[in-house]
Structure 1
Amino acid sequence: MTARSVTEPSWLTVSRACQMLGVDASTLRLWTDAGRIRVFRTPGGHRRYREEDLTVFLRSQQQKPPGRLADVIGHRGARLIPGTSRRRIREQQWYADLDPKAADEMRLTCRTLMDALSTYLSGGRGQRAALAAGEEAGRALGLQVAALRLSPAEATRTFLFFKGSITQPVFSRLPLPSERRVRSIRHIDLFLDRVLVQMMAVYEQTG
């Protein structure tokens, strides 16, 4: 690809691609590393995306047949948590104590975590990268929780509350037989348990 080609209207920068997909840069990077979206590089090493590729990707997300957990979560993972659960999270005392900047950082970390979970549940060769992204988000949460000066019990309880906010809607919204629904929950448990281990490891090191 030449330097001239990246200036054509069909080529998008990272920020423009994020706007088109409605996600942040970390999620776009996760999807790219997992092979879900093609990326090209300029001679200077900057990432560029074809608008046509993103259009096809968005269309494929809309046309997927229902029935898989990743489809219920959607291509923006945070959709899995219903509004009532999000409100309950905001009502927690530890959340009320957050300053606006810390709250924004935690929301971004949780969004990245949910996007990684969605990619992990999609299967395929992107699972390893998604799990690594989830563990990285767990380490970021460990630093953020440590800054709140929560006790280990409070930190664990906070994460389990978040975990329950994810798993409970799956039972009510996933159109699968009971045995497959349970298997899906196990996949979520495996992923989030790895995240929790990383979160608490960083929390203990910081404390």
Structure 2
Amino acid sequence: MTSDNSFSDNWLTLSEAAKLLDVHPTTIRRWANNGDIPVLVTPGGHRRFSSSDMARFARERSALRNVNGLTGLWATKALANARHEVMVHRRDSWLTHFEDHENRNRNRVLGQRLLGLTLQYLSSESSEENSAAILDEARYIGRQYALYAKEQGLPLRVTLEASMFFRDSLIETALEMPEASSIRPEASVRLLRRINNLLNAVHLAVADVYQDEADADVIPGDGG
């Protein structure tokens, strides 16, 4: 898997990336092999890691360590639920558009980033400044996802079906939690509102990308 960052980014060696994240190089190698972090392989076979990707991954790991009990429980269940739902619905018509290996990997990276971002957002409820910055990054992910979909020639409907599938998986997990755990309903409601707020930003960013293309196709002064 390769990173989507430009070559103007600062690229780190395996040992430099490991030092930045304070882990062993074999851990970085395993994360890269699993698709958890993007990696660039040079013509000589050496791995290089984007400094911005590493910084983002560090923030996501920090969010995972610092989440409260409710958010941590939701994150664990949401990830397992999303994987299960993909297996159950893998033959659905919209999913067949994402069977290409490269596109599947790109979308998996975006999905992982969005899940990590959701955790950060759920953990930043008391900070309006942090929340606003996280929403901006969520919009960026939505735009990237839409641009990838347009590269494949996917219509807006199919693109939104896929993003709504991800959204439904996260929300259904939150809805199921009060039944499976001793969680107060009001806490679950706050969780749902935060998830909704972030994913609304993603969906609107997707729609904006397609709307921009539609506006560009309109011929000025053409009255039909």
Residue in 2 aligned with 1:200? Answer: 207
CA distance in 2, matches of 1:145, 1:94: 12
Q: Pick closer, same or farther for the CA change 1:148–1:93 going to 2, 3 Å.
A: farther
Residue in 1 aligned with 2:121? Answer: 120
Q: Is the 8 A contact 1:113 1:137 kept in 2?
A: yes
Residue in 2 aligned with 1:157? Answer: 161
Paired residue type of 2:168: G
1:126-157 alpha-carbon deviations (Å, 9 max, x no partner): 43332222111101111122234333333333
1:46-68 alpha-carbon deviations (Å, 9 max, x no partner): xxxxxxxxxxx98x55xx762x2
CA distance in 1, matches of 2:208, 2:73: 32
Paired residue type of 1:85: E
- 1:24 corresponds to which of 37, 58, 61: 37
Paired residue type of 2:112: R
1:44-101 alpha-carbon deviations (Å, 9 max, x no partner): xxxxxxxxxxxxx98x55xx762x2245315xx9725443212145333233233211
Paired residue type of 2:97: D
CA distance in 2, matches of 1:131, 1:157: 21
Q: Is the 8 A contact 2:146 2:206 kept in 1?
A: yes
CA distance in 2, matches of 1:150, 1:141: 11
How many pairs are equivalent? 173
Structure 2 residue runs of 5 or longer lacking an equivalent are 1-14, 39-51, 215-224
Let me know the Cα RMSD of the aligned residues.
Answer: 3.6
Q: Pick closer, same or farther for the CA change 1:199–1:133 going to 2, 3 Å.
A: same
- 1:73 corresponds to which of 72, 75, 81: 75
